[in-house]
Amino acid sequence: MICCDLTGNIGDQITRYLLCRSVAEKNSYDWSINKRTSHDYYNGAEQMYCFDVDYGIPNNTPYGEMPEGVTNVWSEKYDDHQTYSYHPYQPDVFDVPDNTKLVFRCGHDARYYDRNKVREWLTIKKENTLLYEERLAKEGIDLSDENLCVINCRGGEYRGVKSLFLTNDYWSKTIDLMLQKNENMHFIVITEDLDYYKNIFNCPVYHFDIGNDFYVVQHARNLILSNSAFAIFATWTNLNNPYVIAPKYWSRHNISDGFWANSDMFTFGWNFMDRDGNLD
C-alpha cells in the first residue's frame, strides 16, 4: 500500500493525490489516502469534492503518522537556497517497495504523471458540471469562445512575499501578448482574492467556488496563469488545447537570473514569459 498525507490548498492536495496514485499504479500496489487534511485554509474540509476521487483503502490515520502496515518512507529531496527551494525530478519514487509512505512538498514536474490518467482521475462529477455550466451561463461566460482569455490570479498570502507575488507588469505584458495574438481577445479573471484584483483589472473578476474555478481553467481556450499550484493540473488536463502563457521560472519569476523554482515547471510545455515580455 502506498499512502501520503493531504495538506494545504487544493493545488497541493491534487498533487499529492496524483503522485500517490501514479506510484501505486505503476507498481500494481494499493493506495490509501485520508481525505481529511490536517490543516489548511478550509478548516480541514475536503477540497477535491468536485471530482470522482478514489482515495483507495479507507484510512483515518492522523496527519504525520504511519498507517498500520506501512513501514517505509520515501521523502522528496530538495536543494535549499536563500530565497527558494528547488525540487528536482526524482524517478526513484517509482522504485519504492510496497507499504511506503510518500512525503513530499512539491511534485510539480510533468514527468511524474501520465496525462491521460490524470485526466481520468480528475474527472469532475456530472452534477457539479451541470451546476457550473448553469452558473457560467447566468454570467454570460462562454468557455467555447475562442476570443475569451481566462486570467487565473493568486492573491491572499502570496501578496506578502515580494519574490513570489506577480506584479502588475506581468499581467500587463501577458495581456498585451494575448492581444497581439488576437486583437479581439477579451478577458475575465478567476481568483480567490476578489477584493484585491477588482482594483487591478478593468474586466470582470470572479470567484465561484473551488470546483467551479477549476472547471473554468480546465475548459478555457486561452489562459494566463499565475505561479500557483491551483492551475497546474486544471490547465494540463484541459482538452481544448488552450494557448497558455505562464511566468518563466515560475515561483521566482520576479527575481530569477536563470533558475527555476520550485521545480522544472517547463516540463508542462506551456509558453513561459520572462520579465522582458519574451516567450519561450
Of residues 80, 132, 138, the one with CA closest to residue 106? 80
**What is the spatial distance between Cα 106 and Cα 77, in angstroms, rounded to a whole number?**
10
Report the amino acid identity of residue 229.
A
Of residues 197, 105, 199, the one with CA closest to residue 151? 197
Cell of 130: 451541470
Three-state DSSP state, 256 = coil
Entry pTM: 0.96
pLDDT of residue 39: 66
Topology adopted by domain 126-273:
Rossmann fold (3.40.50)
Predicted confidence pLDDT, tens digits, the chain (280 residues): 999 999 888 999 999 999 999 999 999 999 999 888 876 667 767 899 999 999 999 999 988 899 999 999 999 999 999 989 999 999 999 999 999 999 999 999 999 999 999 999 999 999 999 999 999 999 999 999 999 999 999 999 999 999 999 999 999 999 999 999 999 999 999 999 999 999 999 999 999 999 999 999 999 999 999 999 999 999 999 999 999 999 999 999 999 999 999 999 999 999 999 999 999 9
Cell of 276: 522582458
Cell of 98: 510496497
pLDDT of residue 43: 72
CB atoms within 10 A of CB 138: 8
pLDDT of residue 40: 61
Domain positions in the chain are 2-115, 126-273
